[in-house]
Each structure stands twice: as C-alpha cells, then as structure tokens.
C-alpha cells in the first residue's frame, strides 16, 4: 500500500459531498485532478471503493469503511500538528461554535480579534435555529453555543453579553404612529413568523398569547433575513431583533411600530456544558470573551441600550 494523506482527504471529501464536482470545488482542485487521485487510491485495492450509477458516483460499503479509517488517520495527524504548536507555546486546536441564526450579526465581532491573536486555532461556526444549536451542544458536536435565552433543562455555564431587543416592525408604507398601535389595528395585519424551533418565533408567540391577539393571516419563513425582506416588501409585519435590522431602519425600509409590551428583552449569552472537559482553544475563547466583551459591545453595538 502506498496511498497518501492527500488521497485520503480527497476520498473523504467525495464521500461527504457525494459528488466529484462538489468535492473539487471545496478542495479548489479541477475535476480531473480529483478523479486522478481517486483512481490512484482505487488502484491499491482489489475491492471497489466506488460504483457508478447512471451519471452519479456512489461510495461502496467497503469505501465507507476505508473512509472512516481515513478520517481517524487524518484526525490523528491533525492532533499531532496541534500538539506540536502547543509545545511551541501557541494556543492551537479546534473551536466549534453553534449560533442561533440571529447571532450571525454578533459572532463575527467576537471571533475576529480572537483569531488574529490565536492564528493556530481552527474555527467552525454552525448557524441554525435554537433547537438545533442546543441539540448539537448536548450531543457534544460543538464546544460553545451563542443563544438569546439560557435553556433551563441544560446544565450549562454562561457568560452574558448584551441585550437582545425585539420590536414590532413594518415596511416603509406603514403610517407613523405617535401612540402604540391598537390591538384591533394590529390584528388586521398579516404576521410573518420565523420557523418552529427559533427563539425569535417563541418570543413572538409568547407576546401574541399575552396580548390575546387574534391572528388571522400568517407567513412562516426560515431565516431572519427572509423575514426582513418579506416585511420590507410589504407582505406583513413581524417582531424582530433590533440587531438584525439596524441598517434597514436607518435606510427607512423598515419602521418600528410602537406597541404595548414591546420591546421584548432577553440577553445574548455564550453557554457551554458543565459536564464538558473543554480543550485549550474553547477555554481560551471563553476567557477572551470574558475579558473583551465590554469593549466589543461598546465598539459595535452602541445603539443597544
């Protein structure tokens, strides 16, 4: 056997993407280059790693076994590299963060300076809804989560960052109101929701229940950005986090509608499991946030009071 680490990496990428084309794009290689590496790897085995069904390439059961072994080999190589850098005095390793979708407006400002200070840390950020983030945290698939409410059922440490303020907003065609919108008038509008499992959706549902609003027409969308664009287009109104709509408010594409009981206020937090033995990279990130959060918030989020 004379396979290379590069060939194993190509095999894994093809398995994970299910496509030579997609694998070549993610590896920044040409399709012929990927095919050549796969052929060189296949030539060392008598049992097929792949089979072609129609125009699609499919990995065989044997190919999956080899890919699983390749993953363990590459993980060990990566661990060796991290240990080498650590012995040289660098903070090195993986940092896996899960962030609720609205937190995408926060995460970059908390990680940019950190990565500049610790360039040997490899970062991955998974942005999804709250339910998926918490599931990943409990399953040990991520080290740290960024959420707007701390779940009661999870035993987690936390660091509070800043306020998360949610307002009722409409498009520029909305009339300017000096007083809070009446319950009757609000009920005439179509309400635009985030998907189930979103913390923003939950906050909106709680507000509606507390106000005993009779919701007649609704739209459900799967991202904060999609909701924002729908409101701008005049499809309805929604309750949205201030942090994700600041530019649209400045441009006049969105308007805050005064409403009793709003804004809803929660706090952005980073959380991590109490039971988890954190590696050096996540530990260092937590300390970085603890020491620099006030400066970061003052620099970038002065409009949040």
pLDDT tens readout for residues 209-262: 998 988 877 899 988 899 999 999 999 999 999 999 999 999 999 999 999 999
Chosen domain end from 63, 87, 111: 87
Each residue's pLDDT tens digit, 123-146: 999 998 889 999 999 999 999 999
Facing residues of 95 across strands? 123
Is 198 among the domain residues?
Answer: yes
Whether residue 221 is found in the same domain as residue 247: yes
Query: Do 147 and 284 lie in a common domain?
Result: yes
In a domain, 305, yes or no: no
37 and 104 assigned to the same domain: no
Instruction: Write the CATH number for 43.
Output: 1.10.10.10
* Number of domains the chain contains: 3
Host domain of residue 39: 5-87
Cα-only R_g, the chain? 24
Max alpha carbon distance in the chain (Å)? 78
**pLDDT reported for residue 88:** 62
Asked if residue 246 belongs to a domain, the reply is yes
* Residues 223, 282 share a domain: no
User: Apex CA 266: angle with CA 263 and CA 272, to 5°?
Assistant: 160
End-of-domain residue from the set 72, 87, 102: 87
The sign one gets for the Cα dihedral 24, 29, 32, 34 is negative
Q: Are residues 181 and 242 in the same domain?
A: yes
pLDDT at 263: 94
In-domain check, residue 80: yes
Half-sphere exposure of 24 (CA within 13 A, CB side): 13
Q: Measure the CA–CA gap between 67 and 59, rounded to whole angstroms.
A: 9
Q: What pLDDT band is residue 295 in, cutting at 50, 70 and 90?
A: very high
Rounded to an integer, what distance in angstroms lies between the CA atom of residue 251 and that of residue 248? 5
Q: How confident is the model at residue 178 (pLDDT cuts 50, 70, 90)?
A: confident
CATH number at residue 124: 3.40.190.10
What integer pLDDT is reported at residue 287 of this predicted model? Answer: 95
pTM score: 0.72
Distance CA 280, CA 191 (A): 45
Clarify whether residues 261 and 233 are in a common domain.
yes
Residue 189 and residue 279 in one domain: no
Distance CA 201, CA 232 (A): 19
Which of 87, 102, 135 terminates a domain? The answer is: 87
156 - beta bridge partners? 273
Same domain, 239 and 187: yes
Tokens of 127: 């942005």
Is pLDDT at 161 greater than 70 in this prediction? yes
Distance (Å, whole) CA 288 – CA 43: 49
- pLDDT of the residue at 82: 67
Verify that 153 and 277 share a domain, yes or no: yes
Query: Angle 258-262-263 (CA atoms, 0-180°, nearest 5)?
Result: 110
Residue at 23 is within a domain: yes
Over residues 17-21, mean pLDDT: 85
């Amino acid at each position: 056997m004379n396979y290379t680490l590069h060939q194993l990496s190509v095999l894994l990428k093809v398995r994970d993407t299910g496509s030579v084309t997609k694998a070549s794009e993610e590896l920044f290689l040409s399709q012929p280059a990927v095919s050549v590496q796969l052929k060189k790897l296949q030539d060392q085995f008598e049992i097929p790693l792949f089979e072609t069904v129609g125009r699609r390439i499919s990995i065989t059961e044997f190919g999956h076994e080899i890919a699983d072994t390749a993953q363990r080999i590459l993980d060990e190589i990566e661990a060796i590299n991290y240990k080498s850098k650590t012995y040289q005095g660098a903070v090195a390793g993986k940092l896996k963060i899960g962030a609720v979708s609205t937190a995408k407006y926060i995460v970059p400002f908390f990680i940019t300076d950190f990565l500049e200070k610790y360039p040997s840390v490899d970062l991955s950020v998974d942005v999804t809804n709250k339910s998926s983030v918490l599931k990943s945290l409990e399953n040990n698939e991520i080290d740290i989560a960024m959420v707007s409410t701390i779940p009661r059922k999870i035993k987690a440490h936390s660091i509070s960052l800043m306020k998360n303020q949610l307002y009722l907003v409409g498009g520029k065609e909305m009339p300017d109101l000096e007083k809070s919108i009446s319950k009757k008038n609000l009920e005439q509008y179509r309400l635009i929701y985030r998907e189930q499992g979103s913390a923003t959706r939950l906050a909106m549902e709680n507000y509606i229940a507390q106000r005993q609003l009779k919701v007649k027409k609704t739209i459900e969308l799967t991202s904060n950005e999609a909701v924002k664009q729908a409101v701008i287009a005049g499809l309805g109104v929604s309750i949205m986090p201030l942090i994700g709509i600041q530019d649209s408010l400045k441009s006049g594409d969105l308007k805050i509608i005064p409403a009793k009981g709003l804004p809803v206020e929660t706090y952005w937090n980073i959380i991590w499991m109490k039971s988890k033995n954190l590696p050096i990279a996540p530990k260092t990130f937590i300390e970085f946030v603890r020491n620099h959060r006030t400066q970061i918030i003052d620099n970038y989020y002065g409009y949040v009071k």
